[in-house]
Amino acid sequence: MEKGLVIKSTGSWYTVESENGEFFECKVKGKLRIKGFKSTNPIAVGDWVNFSLQSVSADEKEKKIGLIASILPRKNYIIRRSINLSKQSHIIAANIDQAVLVVTLNYPVTTSTFIDRYLASAEAYSIPVLLVFNKTDRYNPEQTKELDTLINTYQSIDYQCICTSAKKLTGLDKLQNAIKDKTNVINGHSGVGKSTLINILEPGLNLKTMEISDSHKTGKHTTTYSELFKLNFGGYIIDTPGIKAFGMLEMEPWEISHYFVEIFKTSVNCQYNNCSHTHEPNCAVKVAVENGEIAPSRFISYLGLLEPMINTVLPIKIPIPMIQ
Ligand SMILES: Nc1nc2c(ncn2[C@@H]2O[C@H](COP(=O)(O)OP(=O)(O)O)[C@@H](O)[C@H]2O)c(=O)[nH]1
Ligand SMILES: [Mg+2]
Ligand SMILES: [Zn+2]
């Protein structure tokens, strides 16, 4: 039995890279079942599988194909829930080491709310995030200050931040080091520079970029298959559908606060252990926002996610102007 990594899936065939770097076309042997999981695809890119090789003759030539016998346990995965009623989900990718969110303050605008939703989703999936602030060449002094504040906010809660300019070619070594030897998904609004950055780091890798999210707007369910692209300097980049695919999991209101790391940490000091940090007395989170230990923008993002679930009103006066 061989062990390998699924790097491409077309539905019934999988391209598997064996541990010594050979590629095999593989099929699933019999029926694979994953306990407690209803999914349209049992195997996804990023899965490690055990497979055996079988010789088949094709066009009078001997060829080896693989038969996948089992999947190794996943450390995480991202899914897209189906829109129809089957309740089946589609696994986009498994075993992701890092989610890279490319952000620009402007051109186009990325709001802190958008960043925070992304971070919360990634926390829910247990995927570390790298924040890449691109197009620094375009910022005037005032915007640069704004950027510094934003970076301070995220670094203070332990998210790795890198500033880049694909135009001036700055920060690219840092970016390369940060994604090297990892399996990365890359996201961010259209136009922030994802393709440009990737093409500089890995010339020739023309990612069929991620604008597939548009199909979600129309409600159409396009079956898309992801692919792991190998980086020559080590690691992989996953060509994934957009941010929508990385959306929030179904969760209870109290769960949301678990995915805002600093809110979760602070909440151990709230009077009620199921405190929603809105109307409750003796709420340590509200105190921390008021005295500047928690960034107001983060608290506002948290309330924004809570709001569709319960009717929240801004529970406190926000002392500092926030970045939008
Ligand atoms: N000034 C400037 N422009 C950039 C930078 N990075 C990308 N761009 C430009 O932004 C536009 C969108 O980039 P693209 O890579 O297609 O964005 P994507 O949609 O995220 O893949 C292109 O015109 C790029 O040339 C940068 O760091 N500085
Ligand atoms: Mg692109
Ligand atoms: Zn509280």
Q: How far apart (Å, rounded) are the C-alpha atoms in residues 128 and 74?
A: 15
User: Is the distance from CB of 94 to CB of 46 less than 8 angstroms?
Assistant: yes
Contact (CB, 8 A) for 71 and 31: no
Judged against a pLDDT cut of 60, whether residue 20 lies above it is answered with yes
At residue 219, the pLDDT reads: 39
For the residues 114-138, what does the mean pLDDT come to? Answer: 93
Residue 134 and residue 165 in contact, taking contact as beta carbons nearer than 8 Å = yes
Query: Using N-to-C axis directions, what is the helix angle for 112-124 and 296-306, rounded to 10°?
Result: 70
If you average pLDDT over residues 193-212, what whole number do you get? 76
Atom of ligand 1 nearest to the CA of 107: 10
* Residues with Cβ within 8 Å of residue 34, at least 6 apart in sequence: 42, 71
Q: Between 219 and 171, where is the model more confident?
A: 171
Average the pLDDT over 109-136 and give the result. 93
Non-local (6+) Cβ contacts of 87 within 8 A are: 38, 81
The per-residue pLDDT of the chain, averaged, comes to: 84
Q: Which of 79-83, 109-113, 159-163, 244-248 is least confident?
A: 244-248
d(CA 63, CA 233): 30
- Centroid of ligand 3 to alpha carbon of 110 (angstroms): 28
pLDDT tens-digit readout, 207-265 = 654 444 434 444 344 445 678 999 999 999 986 654 454 555 566 777 889 999 999 99
Amino acid, res. 284: A
The conformation of residue 39, written as its DSSP 8-state character, comes to: B
CA of 114 to the centre of ligand 3 (A): 23
> What residues have CB less than 8 Å from 287, skipping those under 6 apart?
none
Q: For 76-90, 123-137, 276-290, which range has the lowest pLDDT when averaged over its residues? A: 76-90
Predicted pLDDT of residue 324: 34
Sequence-separated (6 or more) residues with CB below 8 Å from residue 180: 231, 233, 234, 235
For residue 254, how far is its CA from the centre of ligand 2 (angstroms)? 36
What is the model's pLDDT at position 176?
98
Residue 58: is its pLDDT beyond 90? Answer: no
The residue-averaged pLDDT of 81-92 equals: 67
Confidence of residue 288 (pLDDT cuts 50, 70, 90): very high
What b/e string do you get for 239-273 counting C-beta neighbours within 10 Å, with b at 16 or more?
Answer: bbbbbebbbeeeeebeebbebbbbbeebbeebeee
What CA–CA distances, in Å, run from 61 to 55, 64, 121, 289?
10, 10, 48, 69
Quote the pLDDT of residue 189. 87
Q: What ligand is nearest to the CA atom of residue 199? A: 1
* Element holding 141 (H helix, E strand): helix 141-156
State what percent of residues in the chain have pLDDT above 90.
58
Please report the atom of ligand 1 found closest to the CA of residue 136.
Answer: 27
Q: What would the mean pLDDT of 169-189 be, rounded to a whole number?
A: 95
Ligand 1 pocket (Cβ < 6 Å) reads: 134-135, 137-138, 165-167, 188, 190-196, 209
The average pLDDT across 152-175 equals 98
| Alpha-carbon gap, residue 37 to 47, rounded angstroms | 15
pLDDT for residue 265: 97
Query: And the tokens for 164?
Result: 């880049």
Which of these ranges, 55-64, 108-117, 142-151, 227-236, has the smallest mean pLDDT?
55-64
Strongest mean pLDDT among 27-36, 42-51, 76-85, 231-240: 42-51
Structural contact between residues 120 and 260, judged by C-beta atoms closer than 8 angstroms: yes
The answer to whether 31 touches 213, Cβ cutoff 8 Å, is no
Q: Report yes or no: 134 and 162 within 8 Å, Cβ to Cβ.
A: no
Nearest ligand 1 atom, CA 199:
15
Least confident residue range of 52-66, 170-184, 269-283? 52-66
Largest pairwise CA distance in the chain:
78
Q: How far is the CA of 78 from the centre of ligand 3 (A)?
A: 30
Three-state secondary-structure class, residue 78: strand
- Non-local (6+) Cβ contacts of 266 within 8 A are 284, 285, 288, 293, 294
